[in-house]
Structure 1
Amino acid sequence: GGEAPDRQDSNIEFTWKKYSICGTLFDLPSYYQVLKPIGQGAYGVVCCAKNEITGATVAIKKISNVFAHVLNAKRTLREAQLLRIMKHENIISILDILPPVNMSVFEDVYVVSELMDTDLHQIIQTGQHLSQDHVQYFMYQILCGIKYIHGCNVVHRDLKP
């Protein structure tokens, strides 16, 4: 996977690199090489990066000023806790949460996750005709993911393509 080296060893020192992604400054451990921006949304900016230690290509989402609002901080923590324990082929996995450069000014959270080749929104936006078999397969994948999270007593309130 794209996991970071074991940070339990407090003697490990990281060097950091700065990147500008979609106008947002990313401070990342130097073992990540940013490849390209993926996009931005209400909760953050996402880039594609390569973990130079493991060779894995991952997605890194920066959630800026995560602690500015208690509700956003709680939502981010809840999502991270759930996604770190959920293991299902139709649920994206969190591989790591990166440490801040400086703990005394810990404002931003970087979440490292599996890199998806595409998503349903992108497929819909292409305007490409989808056969009935394609639609059924997409629905099957969505329902399998929902069944899994419901089995974990979690309700997803923001499904979107």
Structure 2
Amino acid sequence: MENEGMIIGYTGNSSYGVRYVQYNILGNLFEVSSKYVPPIQALGRGASGIVCCARNAETNEEVAIKKVGNAFDNRIDAKRTLREIKLLCHMDHENIIKIKDIIPPPMKESFNDVYIVYELMDTDLHQIIRSKQALTDDHCQVSLMNLNPFCNLYVVDLFV
């Protein structure tokens, strides 16, 4: 796709005094803080948004940025996005992805998309399940042990 992951524009200083950069990711406009620099590459598209990877220029760390487009168009999606952010901000476990940052919108008046910055992972459960490589008993046992932190969520009534 033409201009994929390339800077396609700059937004002046935002409501927060931050400079923003615009990228084309899978045909969608990503408008993120200028501290997230190329290479910007698409990682995938899911039910709740589009994910790309970038580098945080301040920490030199590679991160994943998820754009939840039109996050407030319907109440269910808005609540789902808020729930994801609130839960992950309270989680601290090696098997649960961590939120590194929430990118504020360039202009408060036109706040419609939510950008969540995560630690960049090598793979996800979906890729493992779809892989043609057979899962051994050891793989299954480790996967089940990795699900253990989620069992604790029900105990503390976080999933209501």
**TM-score, with normalisation over the residues of structure 1?**
0.83
Q: Which residue of structure 1 aligns with residue 154 of structure 2? A: 150
Q: Is the 8 A contact 1:59 1:114 kept in 2?
A: yes
The CA deviation at 1:74 is 1.6
Matched, 1:125 2:130: yes
Q: Which residue of structure 2 aligns with residue 90 of structure 1? A: 95
Matched, 1:60 2:72: no
Long gaps (5+) in structure 2: 1-14
1:63-100 Cα distance to aligned partner (Å, 9 max, x none): 01111112211221122111111111111121211111
Matched, 1:26 2:40: no
**TM-score, with normalisation over the residues of structure 2?**
0.83
Higher strand share: 2
Say how many residue pairs are matched: 145
Long gaps (5+) in structure 1: 1-10, 157-161
Which among 35, 47, 59 is matched to residue 42 of structure 1? 47
1:104-155 Cα distance to aligned partner (Å, 9 max, x none): 100000011111110122122220122111111111112x221232243223
RMSD: 1.8
- Cα distance in 2 for partners of 1:115, 1:152 equals 28
Which stretches of structure 1, 4 residues or longer, exceed 6 Å deviation after superposition? none
The CA deviation at 1:13 is 2.5
Q: Secondary structure at the match of 1:26?
A: strand
CA pair 65-12 structure 1, distance change in 2 beyond 3 A? closer
Q: Which residue of structure 1 aligns with residue 9 of structure 2? A: none
- Cα distance in 1 for partners of 2:150, 2:63 equals 24
Give the residue type in structure 2 aligned to 1:111: I
